[in-house]
A and B are shown apart, each in its own frame.
Chain A
């Protein structure tokens, strides 16, 4: 992908964003939350930062096998 759709700004070039980390699964011990991740070939939930834009933090659900974006929403928004 070379573009991401920011909830505030609309479709923007990828270089405006920075990947921070893959989100940890809910629950788990502190060590697991910091260090351990389970890899799914179909789904990666990631925290990205719109650094060179509105600076919103986003949760991006992405398919790592096809590099297709399934869903983009704000971090700390509704469902968190």
Chain B
């Protein structure tokens, strides 16, 4: 019947090739989709349903397909849940059906089908409970779901394209194209998104004439005109969502996730012309292979030359059934009967009456006020049981192999539900359409509930002109194209055929999620009658369908069961994306290393050459230590720290923030930004400086250097560098708007090398240029001076974070490596962050662990700095009573009560009597090589005095340790080592 070579169809090319489905080879034509090729090869069984594993065939000819979802590829590298009607075949493609074991024909789990009701709505709340749900969980999980995920994901990278245009038109059917042409002629820049590989929408199937020519010829001319006027046509691209004036569309060439493109579009006007989805009808066993949508038969026929049935029964509630029947009959399909749920008097269109007469004369029975009660058959449809819509009277059995059903159309309004758009119910078409919308969004055509071609053209012309005008193009109204297509539908709502209660569990509403009328009744009876509850209780509208096919149908049945009108029940909220989008498409190029910038210091290569093991601190890569990867980090860091205290070492401090503040008002500005005053700082001196937040908490600390009377350089911690720059810029704008202050971020302009240790001065002086040596040799603690090294200018600051005699060298990035080499050559050993942390804990210096944003200057023992009377950021709230309560923590040192016990930062501190109420926690800890035991810093309640013994509790790591409160500075309390 459907020979591969002799089929004629709009989408078919000449070539033939073979493909594989469930291990068997089949032939296909160029342009075939998986569905059309399988149907042409006589394959009707394409999958099994999600819950009951019932046999399923393809239901539709579009992306709303609920049943025929295939896995493309082998088990290692595959893409699951590909809709068969959308997948354009290529030679050698490997297709597999889903949700069956061991095979599609013989599925072991379908024995569940025999169990009938145990898998009804909410079954997992009511069954499989003894002894506990978890006993059954593994089995249920294995059976659940549609396709299986692949072992590896090797999708190629998707691209993201951003563009703006005057008018974006979603949908390339007659409505969209008429609007596009009107807007383009008015001079607007127009982009059309069409989900199929070519334009036309439904027009291919109607007997339509537009502007005096046949529909297809009209389409061709129009495409040429649009192209020549510069309109952009995007094919295989679906609008999937968007907000805030942005529309997001997704292109999936060939219907298969591959080289996808995500479009982020900024149109001035968005015209929704995405048509309407035909909806099914509910009767017993309406999910058998062979039950399909009426439009699907036409599409497979016209596009792919596939005659999908030998004998068919057409079942509908509107006029289009007769137009479609005429066309299908002309294409050679044998139509046994047309079952119309309406009374004969419902047909008032003369053209329809004429078509009907012709059909009757050619021997096709037309039945009125009748419905298909049930489909008969096991592996597929073998007959239809037809009876009165009242459920009484005689039931006929009509032998057929296909039932083509159509319950009307659901306009695709998802885009209309965003951003305050409302919907309203239109009883004439028994569907919801977009009601109030933002000005820049318009709906037209079948998406707007208009199904009659001349009305569509009329409306679309006006919308296209209005869109152009809104986008700023002047245009005068032009008469709309004259068109005639299929007659108006004259639809009468009909949702399900009558059935005894026991049979309701075989009346399918949502095919993909196996939701039946029995499930909906169950939901209503059990109190889940609100549509959103019913959706979640029954799974109506889940999955890739998202209510596109059966949402209104399900809502209407719930409305009937509740005895209320459909517009009172409504449908569940439609959510983005409105069509599946791969995560890879959303990520675009922002994957792997491109996801986050990596910042490297000027010494990065140098660290690696020295054997540094790098680790991330935020975006920066910094050397943790200089042993081998996987070496005993504790031992190596201890050695590095010891080397600093005995001879000397160098470390990389380039990541700390550096901000220069200059201008006549710079000192006054810094007085305001810092808790520690700046104006009293002398030129050539530096000072430890602390910033507060406006609520009085400590924000950051660093050094402030006075380069000149009008110039300062401030350093910040690495972690707060960005925030401090923004902090400075904020107050500069907020309170110093008219002041003469300039702020520059120079973090990346200077590399900083710290050389520390008893022999650091001896190592540094010889490598500097001759004239620089005396000033550097004479530097006092916290002074700085300029020097020269190998022709480059250097700032030498005598400051220490290790507690040893040390200098910070600010040098140009290009000189950093040679400066480091020279210092290493002079005997200084590189030390990393781990060793640095040991050294600073020994000295009681603070990092983000103590400056957590929840500590006040009083907590940290900084009262000595607070001698000012003037206002600065944070001063207003410093004196509030809460900051001075007894319960506030205080920074202290900790040692083990027993010299060898270990404790770690993060351990909670509790009193010996009450072990369940923390009175503080350990903020930093280190195994000190200088002292030979564990030391730490902690924040504890003020009431606990020095020498007190308390417990450090660390149940996940070390358990309980007894510690005692000790002085903060564990090593060299007088600080004489750094003042030599």
Contact = CB atoms under 8 A, between A and B. Distances in A.
Interface stretch (B327-335, B526-534, B726-734, B924-932): B726-734
Contact of B734 (A2, A18, A30, A76): A76
Contacts of A30: 876-877
Contact of B733 (A3, A18, A33, A75): A75
> Most chain-A Cβ atoms within 10 A of its Cβ — which of B729, B730, B733, B876?
B733
Contact of A31 (B266, B735, B736, B877): B877
Nearest to B420: A66
A18 B736 CA distance: 21
A55 B417 CA distance: 36
A9 interface: no
Given A55-B729, A57-B730, A76-B737, A35 B244 contact: no
Interface in B838-885: 876-877, 880
Contact of B730 (A31, A47, A74): A47
A51 to B, nearest CB: 7
B730 A34 contact: no
A1 B245 contact: yes
A57 B729 contact: yes
Interface string B225-246: 0000000000000000001111
B245 A3 contact: yes
Interface in A40-64: 47, 49, 51, 55-57
A18 B694 CA distance: 19
A51 B247 CA distance: 25
Contacts of A1: 244-245
B737 A77 contact: yes
A57 B733 contact: yes
Interface string B727-750: 001101111110000000000000
B428 interface: no
B564 interface: no
Contacts of B695: 34-35
A56 B246 CA distance: 25
Nearest to A11: B266
A45 to B, nearest CB: 13
Contact of A49 (B245, B730, B735): B730
B601 to A, nearest CB: 22
Nearest to A31: B877
A20 interface: yes
A16 interface: no
Interface in B713-737: 726, 729-730, 732-737
Contact of B244 (A56, A67, A75): A67
Contacts of B243: 2
B245 A2 contact: yes
Given A31-B877, A34-B877, A35-B695, A2 B244 contact: yes
Given A2-B246, A67-B244, A76 B733 contact: yes
Q: Chain A's interface: helix, strand, loop or mixed, by majority?
A: mixed
Interface string B681-721: 00000000000001100000000000000000000000000
A39 interface: no
A31 B244 contact: no
Contacts of A76: 732-737
Interface in B337-385: none
A66 to B, nearest CB: 8
Interface in B731-777: 732-737
B318 to A, nearest CB: 40
A49 B726 contact: yes
A48 to B, nearest CB: 11
Contact of B876 (A3, A34, A80): A34
A24 B726 CA distance: 19
A26 to B, nearest CB: 13
> Most chain-B Cβ atoms within 10 A of its Cβ — which of A2, A3, A66?
A2
Interface string B251-266: 0000000000000001
B245 A34 contact: no
B409 to A, nearest CB: 33
A80 B244 CA distance: 30
Contacts of B244: 1-3, 14, 67
B661 to A, nearest CB: 15
Contacts of B732: 76
> Most chain-B Cβ atoms within 10 A of its Cβ — which of A31, A35, A76, A80?
A76
Contacts of B734: 47, 57, 75-76, 80
A76 B731 CA distance: 9
A1 B726 CA distance: 24
Nearest to B879: A30
A57 B731 CA distance: 10
A80 B737 contact: yes
A35 B693 CA distance: 12
A40 B372 CA distance: 58
A55 B734 CA distance: 14
Nearest to A1: B244
Contacts of B736: 76
A75 B729 CA distance: 11
A34 B695 CA distance: 6
B158 to A, nearest CB: 19
Contacts of A66: 420
Contacts of B733: 56-57, 74-76
B737 to A, nearest CB: 3
Contacts of A47: 730, 734
Contacts of A56: 733
A51 B725 CA distance: 10
Nearest to A57: B733
B270 to A, nearest CB: 14
A20 B245 CA distance: 24
Contact of A51 (B245, B694, B726): B726
Contacts of B880: 31
B584 to A, nearest CB: 20
A51 B726 CA distance: 8
Contacts of B737: 75-77, 80
A69 to B, nearest CB: 11
Nearest to A67: B244
A55 to B, nearest CB: 6
A64 to B, nearest CB: 14
A75 B734 CA distance: 6
B697 to A, nearest CB: 11
Nearest to B438: A66
A76 B741 CA distance: 14
Interface string A1-42: 111000000000010001010000000001101110000000
Nearest to A76: B737
A74 B733 CA distance: 8
Contacts of A49: 726, 729-730
Contacts of A57: 729-730, 733-734
B729 A34 contact: no
Contacts of B694: 34
B730 A20 contact: yes
Interface in B250-285: 266
A76 B880 CA distance: 29
A1 to B, nearest CB: 5
Nearest to A65: B420
Interface string B492-528: 0000000000000000000000000000000000000
30 contacts: A1-B244, A2-B244, A2-B245, A2-B266, A3-B244, A3-B266, A18-B726, A20-B726, A30-B877, A31-B880, A33-B876, A34-B876, A34-B877, A35-B695, A47-B730, A47-B734, A49-B729, A49-B730, A51-B726, A55-B729, A56-B733, A57-B729, A57-B730, A57-B733, A67-B244, A74-B733, A75-B733, A76-B733, A76-B734, A80-B737
Interface of A: 1-3, 14, 18, 20, 30-31, 33-35, 47, 49, 51, 55-57, 66-67, 74-77, 80
Q: Closest 10 A-B residue pairs measured CB to CB?
A: A76-B737, A30-B876, A2-B244, A57-B733, A76-B733, A75-B733, A1-B244, A2-B246, A34-B695, A34-B694
Given A34-B694, A57-B734, 9 more contacts: A1-B244, A2-B245, A34-B695, A66-B420, A75-B730, A76-B732, A76-B736, A77-B737, A80-B737
